[in-house]
Structure 1
Amino acid sequence: MLKTRVLTAFPLAVLAVVLVFVLPTAWFALLVGLLILLGIWEWATLCGLKDLRSRTLLLLATIVLATLLWYLPSPAVLWFLSVSVLWWLWSFLLLPSPVSHSRLLGAGRGLFIFVPAWFALQWLHQQPTFGPFLALSVLLVVWMADTGAYFAGRRWGRHQLAPRISPGKTIEGAAGGLLLVLLYALFSSYWLVTTPVGLLWWVITCLCSAIFSILGDLLESRQKRHAGVKDSGSLLPGHGGMLDRIDSLTAALPLYALLWYTLRP
C-alpha cells in the first residue's frame, strides 16, 4: 500500500512543482479548475447526486461562479476570503453533527468547498511578489501535514483524533504533521523573511493552514462515512479519488490566502 502511494504521489508532486512555475496564471487557473471539477464530480456522488442532469448542473454552477470570481475586483478579495474562512469555521463546528440528507444542501456545500479554493490558489499564483512560490508553498504545507501525520500516526498513533468520523486518524499523527510543517516554516523563512515579526507571521500562516487542512480532511471523511464508502473514487492508485487528494487543500487555501493578504509584513 505504501509503495503504491509513493509511486503515485511522487511523479504527481514533481509534475505539480513544474507546472506551478512554468504555466502563466491563466493556464494554471484553467488546469486547477479542471481538477476542481473532477473533485466536485466525486463530491456529487458522495452527496447522492447520481443522475447526469444534476451533476451537470452542479458543474455548470461551479464554472459560472469561478468565471465571475476571475473578474473579482481587488477590494472585494479580502471580503470573499474572509467569508470563505468563516464558512469553514462554521463547518468545523458541525463536524460532530450528522450529515444532512438533503442533496441540494450537499451540492451547495460543494460550491463553498471548491470554488473559494480555486480562487485562492490562482490568486496566490498571480501575486507580483513570490506568486508561484506562494502557490507551491501552500501545497507543500498541506503535503507535509499529510505526510507527517501518516508516518507519525503509523509509528506512534495511540489516541484517535475523531473516532466517529475517521478512526484511522490519531492525535499523535496530527502532532507529527504539525511538527513537520513547523520545521518547513522555519527552514523556508530563511528566504522569505528578515525580521522576527515576519518569522512569526510565516509560522502562524503555515501552522494555521495545516490545522485547517486536517479539519478539511475530516470533513470529507465525514461525508464519505455518510455515503458508506472508503474512497471518493479510484482515479489515483493507493490514494483513492481526486477528492481524496485535494480535500485538505480546499480548507487550507482560503485561510492561507487570507493570512497572506492581511498579515504579510
Structure 2
Amino acid sequence: MNKKFIGAIVILVLVLLPISYIGYGYTKFDEQIAPKPNAVSYQFVVIKPPESTNYVIISARTFLNLTQSGNWSPPTGSKIYPVTIITGITGDLGTDMNLTFRSRYERFTIIMGSTEVKTCSTDPSMFPGNCAERAAAVTEITAMASNIFKDHFYYEGLSQGMSESEAKAYAFKETTKRYGKAYLAFFTKAQIGLGTIGNEKHLAVILLGPAEGSESNRIIIPKQGLVVIEGKTDDALRAEIALIEKAINFSWPENNSTATG
C-alpha cells in the first residue's frame, strides 16, 4: 500500500478521533445536568422585601401556612421566588449542599450562561434578560465560591507555618489561578458532557436564565462538583444564590461582602 496513502489515513484518524470524542461529550451534556431518577426535591420561597438588599428564606410549607392563616404576609411590593432544590448525591439537603460547595476542589469554573450574555458588554438592549441582574448573580456566586476556596488555602498556609498575612496572600494567589469563567458554548458543553469539569476535582456552576430558555426556578445538583442554577428571570438567579448561601450557612468575612443586593 502506498506510504503516502497510509500516512493520510493515519492523519485523518488522528484528526477525527478528538473531534468525535468532543462531539460525543456534547451529546451527553443534557444527560449530565438532568436530575437523576433517585433525586430528592425540596421547596423553598425566597422573598426580597422592597428597598432591601437582604433576602428572607423559608420553606414553601411554612410560607403557605403563614399566608393562608392570615397571620403574616410579605411586605407590600416584595418579590417572591418559589425555588426547588433537586439533589441526587445522598438526598439529604444539608449534606449534599455542603459536600458540593464546601469540598476541596482543584479548580472551579463559573459558567455565566450562553454566549448571548456577551451582548451585555456590547449592546445590553439586545440581551433577552436583565444584564444588571445577571451580572449580580455571576458576581455573587463567584465571590462566594472564591471565599470558600480562600478559606481552604488560608488554613493550609497557616498549617505550613506561614504568618496570617502570608497565608492570606497565599490563599488569594492559589484561588485566583484556580478560577475560570466560561460561556455555555459547544466546547464547554462537551467538557461537562465528558465530565472533565463538573466533578469531584473541578467544581462547575452553570447559570441558566431567560436568555437560555429557563422556565423554572431550580437548583439542580446531579452529582458532586456540578450545579445548575435555573431562573425564570435573572433576578431569580440572584435570589437562588442567596438560598444556597443560607443552605450552607455561608457568611461573608468581616468587612468583606458583595454589593449585589
Compute the TM-score of the two structures, normalised by the length of structure 2: 0.31
Q: TM-score, normalised by structure 1?
A: 0.30
Rg comparison, structure with higher value: 2
Relative to total residues, which structure has the larger strand share, 1 or 2?
2
